[in-house]
Amino acid sequence: MTGLGGLNPSPGGMVLGLVQAAVPIVSEPADLAAAVDRITGTVMGARRALPVPDLLVFPEYSLHGLDPSSWLDDRLLCDVEGPEVAKLRATCAEAQIWGCFSIMERNPGRAPYNTGLVIDDSGELRLHYRKLHPWVPAEPWHPGDLGIPVCDGPAGSRLALIICHDGMLPEAAREAAYRGANVILRTAGYTYPIRQAWRVTNQANAFCNLAYTASVCLAGPDGAGIHSQGEAMICDIDGTILERGDGAPGRIVTAEVVPARADEARRSWGVENNIYQLGHRGYSAVEGGATDCPYTFMQDLVAGRYRLPWEAEVRHTDGTGAGLGTPADVRAAAGRFASSTDG
């Protein structure tokens, strides 16, 4: 039930607005400032035109764009305490609406972070997440170091954010749910070749974790004729698609979720309560279920010895194939950009 895209909210419902933002073209600081203004303008416009959304979600790269030649330019990076984020916070407070935003975060001495922020309706920063799994080999971002945080959100929601490629690894959504998230946000900049994988992983992440998933990509051309897909999606806790957008840049796709439904399912479902049953195997035959870890990959990852049977044959193990060079080359490039702006 979506209440006509949230136009008729239910008691206990949270209305999401997923913004299929157009791909910005950002190569100079003035472009970055203009992108901030477009986003804040969208927030204020959405509040006037769509009075019901509790949370607006903007895609990954909606502030910085998709031009890899600009990604390591220190002039175009942001700080969580910087002026761009301050403007986003002030706008959420003025509009009295929650917002989820994407920045490329300065990381002195190393490659930048690909960062997501959730800001509440009083302008307070409630969630700061750094993308755990950059889309290698094409992305030069430093892997995140904050885990997957969870925060309280509107209408009894517990929010987590994963970014783009994170959602292709079931472990990321599972970690969000394990930490209590009942609404998992996913922001991305994917283009059309990823469309099918985008759909099935959004649905699977919902069903496997009894969580709502709300996901949105950039939309439209990037200046070089490559189109991002838009394709906002809100999935119910059983994986059913509640609402799905198209490729139209600027469209805001809205839907209602009821976080208490996810909470109740996690407590009352028997069959397919997968997130509980993972740690309580076979509880019909074993009191409390088996609580050991039978999965070799988990054991090896924790022990620092994760290694695939075909590890030695993997062809892409750094960014060379995507034109980024080695990790040392990426760090050096980030350092050159930073030093060239030191006045």
Q: What is the mean pLDDT of residues 107-132?
A: 98
* Residue 234 in this model has a pLDDT that exceeds 90: yes
- 236 DSSP β-pair partners: none
Q: What is the pLDDT of residue 8?
A: 79
Q: What is the mean pLDDT of residues 195-199?
A: 97
- Tell which residue, 237, 233, 232, 231, has the closest CA to residue 212: 237
The pairing of strands 252-257 and 113-119 is unpaired
pLDDT band at 342 (very low <50, low <70, confident <90, very high): low
What's the mean pLDDT when you consider all of the chain?
A: 95
Q: What is the mean pLDDT of residues 236-244?
A: 97
pLDDT band at 21 (very low <50, low <70, confident <90, very high): very high
Q: What is the pLDDT of residue 335?
A: 81
**What percentage of residues in the chain have a pLDDT greater than 90?**
92
- 215 DSSP β-pair partners: 186, 233
Q: What is the pLDDT of residue 225?
A: 86
* Residue 31 in this model has a pLDDT that exceeds 80: yes
* Residue 20 in this model has a pLDDT that exceeds 70: yes
Q: What is the pLDDT of residue 340?
A: 64
- Tell which residue, 243, 242, 241, 171, has the closest CA to residue 208: 171
CA–CA separation, 293 vs 303, rounded Å?
13
- Tell which residue, 3, 256, 14, has the closest CA to residue 155: 14
Residue position matching structure tokens 């394990």:
178
- What's the 3-state SS for the chain? CCHHHHCCCCCCCEEEEEECCECCCCCCHHHHHHHHHHHHHHHHHHHHHCCCCCEEECCCCCCCCCCHHHCCCHHHCECCCCHHHHHHHHHHHHHCCEEEEEEEECCCCCCCEEEEEEECCCCCEEEEEECCCCCCCCCCCCCCCCCCCEEECHHHCEEEEEEHHHHHCHHHHHHHHHCCCCEEEEEECCEHHHHHHHHHHHHHHHHHHCCEEEEEECEEECCCCCEEECCCEEECCCCCEEEECCCCCCCEEEEEECHHHHHHHHHHCCCCCHHHHCCCECCCCCCCCECCCCCHHHHHHHHCCCCCCCHHHCCCCCEHHHCCECHHHHHHHHHHHHHCCCC
Residue in 164, 175, 235, 243 annotated catalytic: 164
Q: Is 60 a catalytic residue?
A: yes
Q: What is the mean pLDDT of residues 259-263?
A: 98
Angstrom CA distances, 72 to 141, 307, 324, 335, 341, stand at 9, 31, 11, 9, 12
* Rg, Å, the chain Cα set: 20
Q: What does the pLDDT look like over 146-155, one tens digit per residue? A: 999 999 999 9
CA–CA separation, 176 vs 308, rounded Å?
25
Spacing of C-alpha 87 from chain mean position: 21
State the CB neighbour count (10 A cutoff) for residue 61.
28
Q: What is the pLDDT of residue 337?
A: 77
Angstrom CA distances, 167 to 88, 131, 163, 198, 317, stand at 25, 10, 7, 8, 20
Q: What is the mean pLDDT of residues 231-251?
A: 97
Residue in 78, 131, 231, 256 annotated catalytic: 131
Domains and CATH numbers, the chain: 3-271 (3.60.110.10)
Q: Is 87 a catalytic residue?
A: no
Q: What is the pLDDT of residue 2?
A: 62
* Residue 185 in this model has a pLDDT that exceeds 60: yes
* Residue 327 in this model has a pLDDT that exceeds 60: yes
* Residue 144 in this model has a pLDDT that exceeds 80: yes
Backbone angles phi, psi at 308, to 5 degrees: -75, 150
